[in-house]
């Protein structure tokens, strides 16, 4: 009897550790009233929105480039890209600097709330219906109590052709 | 210490030695060879062989060994040089280079190629030397060519060919050598003694840091010992001589390698007690026995190692990092400057003085750091004698190559990227430009064509020219060809425009496609490559007299002399090199054309007007052109008037690539960081012109009443 319960406990422990191993941490940010999340390992730093030099003839969601300690970094406003109604630049507006492949890109968001750990069973597959935000760029939907987090595959999103951040051979 | 740590050093050194070898072979006067040069070539081969043996690169070692023997005969006058023999040597050098590359990539070199070159060299030895080789080293060659290590040492040492057999007194017994280490640290000394123990038996050792003597009984010759040691210590720190009372005779040697130390030679491997079984030939075997030894190149005491003392090998990324940091420093300095300029000059005079000093020092530092990256054009030019020689032979042409301005310096990143385009231009000149000797004679030119490569500074640019005295470009042929290719041409085009046609993709006027050139790929690539470097290509040609291709490049890509301009609230940088003049236009000088297009008359010249705020969609700019300032700029041969709001000032800016994290932006070449930490974009004059054309043609296409403008390919 004791041996069995011991074994069960071990299995459970093993399960929970494997769960832990598969859980990932996400940085949660808000765009308007919606909540989004990116893999925390992609995030380099968070800074204020300031001093952006406009780039001519670029899509409107590319705000321009800024100087990040001597490195020229493009700044993308995801609120414009996702067609949000209110796009304001204030004290709360922050830039999440992410590393995408070899590149550094800053994304403008309305605010950063917290860092959350999501286990695989909390991540639901993304529905295939996005028009503005194609489900190709989502790695899933995170559900946490009654909150829904849109987990963005930032690599795919930022290197996609429609973001016009990366030179594609076709162009 | 792991022996593989030294591979890279060996590869680099060997590569340099091969380069030297090639240069010397090419310089060699076949009829009257300079003994010094022959010696130098021999030394290079010898050094590579030593190193290759040490690291167990058997194929490389074998090949150099054969080559070395031949070279040895040559320098001793037993083999009379001919052009084709030099060609064979060059071929062997190429093969060595291939083998070196193979080892560098951790693969075994192509055995067939190895076999082939060995055969060629062997045949050469047989044909040219015949008796003399056999006489000097009976049965030598076959054993030497065996690439496989043979386990048991041979009693006869046939492979020990002319190199030492003729110059050193043969000695069947082991020698006693006294190896003195001068000023070697304890740690290195331990290593060295360990090495020596591998080479023979150490009879006695002792001394202090200044002079540590090891008495060694060995079958290894003293210059081989030096070769081993030189890998760890400097040649000056080493003294190898026959120990007092040694049986070994000191032999005056004509081998320049060991001229300083009398060689106590012992070539007989079989007598060697401490020798691990190894390869057959004794030089090889000796080298193999040294586990972490002999960077043989160190042997070339006379030439290279002297230069090596005053120079450092530094990875480029380290230098680049310094350049970046200095760039940051300059930005910080101008930031401080800007802040301090608000302070009162009298009360803060010491602050201002200090800042001025800082500015000067920072600029000096920047210049000094930039000069690290500068390399002489010789680096590029030196590879052409061989190319020209080979190509000329292939094409049956007689070509004399002249290089001018070898010492002109250029940024390393540019120098590496200029090689390919330049090679292409040289090939073109040889193939299409210079005529065959008969054809030249027929038009009264000397049979031998002349190809000149020149480099010179002009302002902030470097001019590189490829000049041939060949037939020149044929205007008619070019036009006909262009028409056949469906390009828009007319009889009235200026010569310059016609010459530019050869840069069109897929364009070639060669009547026959050769393997040298004429496939029509290339000139467009040349042009693109050079434009990517921020330069441009010009062609001057006169029928019957030759063609000059001129490449104009900026000296460096890292720093730019710029003029800051303002449009609306935005700041841009204009490359100062592109700015011709600036002026305030009056209404009278402005003419309109086809409604929208404006032209500005400047000293009898009508220049198209491009408003920067229109091209780059800047808000809040002055729209009335007479209130603005016009900068006359020139890019890729086109001149136009650029309308801006204000000129702010001149400054040196550090160029930052936009494409690292973003992409190429039309009309913009790069970015920079201004004194206040904000980013300013650097304008690309030629591309801005194209951008403006595209925009205006798009606009005219949008308005249906106007006929669409023809868009010329840019």
Q: Are residues B18 and B133 in the same domain?
A: yes
Is residue B494 domain-resident?
yes
Is residue B342 domain-resident?
yes
Q: Are residues B52 and B189 in the same domain?
A: no
Q: What is the mean pLDDT of chain B?
A: 74
Residue ranges with strand state E in chain A: 24-31, 34-39, 43-48, 62-68, 71-77, 94-100, 103-109, 111-118, 123-124, 138-144, 147-152
**Is the confidence at residue B521, as pLDDT, over 60?**
no
Q: Are residues B57 and B152 in the same domain?
A: yes
Contact call for B661 and A58, based on CB within 8 A: no
Q: Are residues B366 and B404 in the same domain?
A: no
State residue B519's pLDDT score.
Answer: 43
Residue carrying the six token digits 């006695």: B204
Nearest to A166 among B658, B663, B680 (CB): B663
CA B555/CA B652 separation, integer angstroms: 14
Is residue B112 domain-resident?
yes
Is residue B32 domain-resident?
yes
Global ipTM: 0.80
Contact call for B656 and A57, based on CB within 8 A: no
Contact call for A67 and B678, based on CB within 8 A: yes
Average pLDDT over residues B364-379: 84
By percentage, how much of chain A surpasses pLDDT 90?
23
- By DSSP bridging, strand B238-242 and strand B646-654 are unpaired
**Two structure tokens written together for B155:** 């009693």
**Is the confidence at residue A28, as pLDDT, over 90?**
yes
Inter-residue contact B160 to B137 (CB < 8 Å): yes
Q: Are residues B389 and B461 in the same domain?
A: yes
Choose from A50, A53, A59, A161 for mutation: most chain B CBs within 10 A: A53
B595 — pLDDT class (breaks 50, 70, 90) = low
Which A residues in the span 122-141 are in contact with B, Cβ-Cβ below 8 Å? none
Domain span at B126: 3-158
Average pLDDT over residues B612-635: 87
Which of A30-44, B33-47, B700-714 has the largest mean confidence? A30-44
Is residue B168 domain-resident?
no
Domain count, chain B: 5
Determine the residue of chain B that is closest to A165 in CA distance. Answer: B662
Q: Are residues B590 and B616 in the same domain?
A: yes
CA B684/CA B577 separation, integer angstroms: 11
**Is the confidence at residue B304, as pLDDT, over 50?**
no
CATH code: domain of residue B485: 3.30.565.10
Closest CA to B662 of A106, A70, A39, A43: A106
Q: Are residues B232 and B362 in the same domain?
A: no
Q: Are residues B666 and B676 in the same domain?
A: yes
Nearest to A51 among B661, B678, B681 (CB): B678
CATH topology of domain A24-163: OB fold (Dihydrolipoamide Acetyltransferase, E2P) (2.40.50)
Q: Are residues B22 and B144 in the same domain?
A: yes
**Two structure tokens written together for B66:** 């054969």
By percentage, how much of chain B surpasses pLDDT 90?
5
**Residue scoring higher pLDDT (B173 or A135):** A135
CA B650/CA B684 separation, integer angstroms: 17
Is residue B169 domain-resident?
no
**Two structure tokens written together for B638:** 């086109």
Tell me which of B284-293, B477-486, B691-700 is least confident: B284-293
**Is the confidence at residue A74, as pLDDT, over 90?**
yes
State residue B229's pLDDT score.
Answer: 63
Q: Are residues B425 and B344 in the same domain?
A: no
Q: Are residues B364 and B343 in the same domain?
A: yes
Q: Are residues B522 and B586 in the same domain?
A: no
Phi and psi, residue B220, nearest 5°:
-90, 140
State residue B225's pLDDT score.
Answer: 67
Is residue B455 domain-resident?
yes
Closest CA to B464 of B426, B503, B497, B521: B426
**Is the confidence at residue A98, as pLDDT, over 90?**
yes
Residue carrying the six token digits 């990517």: B532
Tell me which of B241-255, B275-289, B438-452, B589-603 is least confident: B275-289
* Residue A47 sits at the chain B interface (C-beta within 8 Å): no
**Is the confidence at residue A41, as pLDDT, over 60?**
yes
State residue B286's pLDDT score.
Answer: 40
**Two structure tokens written together for B400:** 């004399």
- By DSSP bridging, strand B536-542 and strand B546-554 are antiparallel
CATH code: domain of residue B628: 2.40.50.180
């Amino acid at each position: 009897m004791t041996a069995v319960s011991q074994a069960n406990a071990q299995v459970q422990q093993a399960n929970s550790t494997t769960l832990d191993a598969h859980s990932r941490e996400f940085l949660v940010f808000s765009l308007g009233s919606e909540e989004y999340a990116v893999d925390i390992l992609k995030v380099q730093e968070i800074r204020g929105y300031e001093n952006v030099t406009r780039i001519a003839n670029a899509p409107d969601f590319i705000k321009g480039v800024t100087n990040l300690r001597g490195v020229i970094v493009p700044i993308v406003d995801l609120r414009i890209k996702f067609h949000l109604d209110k796009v304001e630049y204030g004290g709360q507006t922050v830039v999440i600097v992410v590393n995408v492949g070899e590149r550094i890109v800053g994304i403008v968001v309305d605010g950063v709330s917290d860092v959350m750990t999501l286990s695989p069973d909390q991540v639901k597959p993304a529905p295939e219906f996005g028009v503005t935000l194609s489900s190709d760029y989502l790695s899933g939907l995170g559900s946490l109590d009654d909150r829904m987090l849109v987990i963005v595959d930032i690599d795919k999103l930022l290197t996609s052709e429609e973001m016009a951040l990366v030179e594609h051979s076709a162009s | 210490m792991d022996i593989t740590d030294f591979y890279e050093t060996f590869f680099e050194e060997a590569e340099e030695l091969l380069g030297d070898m090639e240069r010397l072979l090419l310089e060699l006067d076949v009829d009257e060879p300079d003994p010094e040069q022959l010696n130098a070539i021999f030394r290079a081969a010898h050094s590579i062989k030593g190193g290759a043996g040490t690291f167990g690169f058997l194929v490389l070692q074998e090949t150099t060994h054969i080559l070395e023997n031949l070279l040895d005969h040559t320098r001793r006058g037993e083999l009379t040089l001919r052009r084709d023999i030099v060609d064979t040597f060059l071929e062997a050098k190429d093969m060595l280079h291939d083998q070196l590359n193979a080892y560098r990539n951790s693969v075994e070199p192509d055995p067939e190629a190895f076999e082939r070159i060995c055969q060629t060299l062997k045949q050469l030895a047989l044909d040219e030397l015949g008796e003399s080789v056999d006489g000097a080293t009976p049965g030598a060659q076959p054993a030497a060519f065996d690439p496989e290590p043979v386990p048991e040492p041979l009693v006869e040492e046939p492979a020990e060919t002319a190199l030492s057999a003729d110059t050193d007194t043969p000695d069947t017994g082991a020698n006693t050598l006294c190896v003195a280490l001068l000023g070697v640290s304890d740690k290195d000394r331990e290593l060295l003694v360990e090495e020596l123990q591998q080479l023979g038996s150490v009879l006695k050792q002792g001394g202090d840091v200044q002079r540590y003597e090891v008495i060694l009984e060995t079958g290894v010759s003293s210059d081989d010992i030096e070769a081993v040691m030189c890998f760890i210590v400097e040649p000056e720190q080493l003294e190898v001589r026959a120990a007092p009372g040694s049986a070994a005779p000191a032999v005056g040697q004509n081998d320049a390698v060991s001229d300083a130390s009398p060689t106590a030679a012992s070539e007989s491997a079989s007598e060697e007690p401490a020798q691990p079984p190894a390869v057959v030939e004794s030089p090889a075997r000796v080298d193999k026995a040294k586990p972490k030894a002999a960077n043989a190149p160190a042997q070339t005491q006379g030439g290279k190692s002297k230069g090596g003392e005053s120079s450092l090998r530094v990875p480029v990324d380290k230098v680049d990092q310094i350049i970046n940091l200095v760039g940051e420093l300059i930005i910080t300095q101008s930031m401080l400057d800007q802040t301090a300029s608000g302070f009162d000059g009298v009360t803060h005079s010491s602050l201002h003085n200090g800042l001025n000093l800082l500015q000067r020092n920072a600029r000096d530092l920047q210049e000094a750091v930039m000069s690290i990256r500068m390399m002489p054009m010789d680096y590029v030019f030196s590879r052409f004698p061989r190319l020209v020689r080979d190509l000329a032979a292939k094409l049956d042409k007689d070509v004399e190559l002249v290089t001018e301005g070898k010492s002109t310096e250029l940024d390393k990143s540019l120098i590496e990227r200029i090689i390919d385009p330049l090679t292409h231009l040289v090939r073109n000149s040889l193939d299409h430009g210079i005529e065959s000797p008969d054809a030249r004679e027929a038009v009264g030119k000397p049979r031998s064509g002349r190809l000149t490569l020149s480099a010179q500074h002009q302002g902030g640019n470097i001019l590189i020219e490829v000049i041939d005295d060949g037939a020149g470009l044929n205007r008619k042929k070019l036009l006909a060809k262009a028409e056949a290719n469906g390009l828009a041409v007319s009889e009235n085009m200026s010569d310059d425009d016609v010459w530019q046609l050869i840069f069109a993709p897929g364009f070639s006027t060669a009547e026959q496609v050769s393997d040298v050139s004429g496939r029509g790929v290339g000139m467009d690539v040349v042009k693109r490559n050079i434009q990517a470097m921020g330069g441009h290509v010009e062609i001057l040609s006169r029928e019957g007299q030759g063609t000059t291709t001129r490449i104009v490049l900026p000296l460096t890509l890292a720093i730019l002399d710029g003029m800051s301009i303002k449009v609306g609230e935005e700041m841009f940088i204009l490359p100062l090199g592109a700015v011709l003049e600036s002026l305030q236009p009056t209404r009278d000088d402005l003419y309109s054309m086809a409604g929208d297009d404006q032209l500005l008359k400047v000293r009898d010249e009508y220049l198209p007007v491009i408003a920067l705020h229109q091209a780059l969609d800047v808000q809040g700019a002055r729209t009335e052109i007479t209130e603005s300032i016009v900068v006359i700029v020139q890019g890729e041969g086109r001149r136009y008037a650029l309308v801006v709001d204000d000129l702010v000032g001149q400054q040196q800016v550090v160029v930052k690539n936009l494409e690292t994290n973003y992409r190429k932006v039309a009309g913009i070449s790069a970015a920079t960081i201004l004194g206040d930490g904000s980013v300013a974009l650097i304008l690309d004059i030629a591309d801005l012109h194209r951008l403006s054309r595209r925009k205006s043609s798009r606009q005219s296409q949008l308005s249906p009443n106007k006929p669409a403008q023809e868009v010329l390919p840019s």
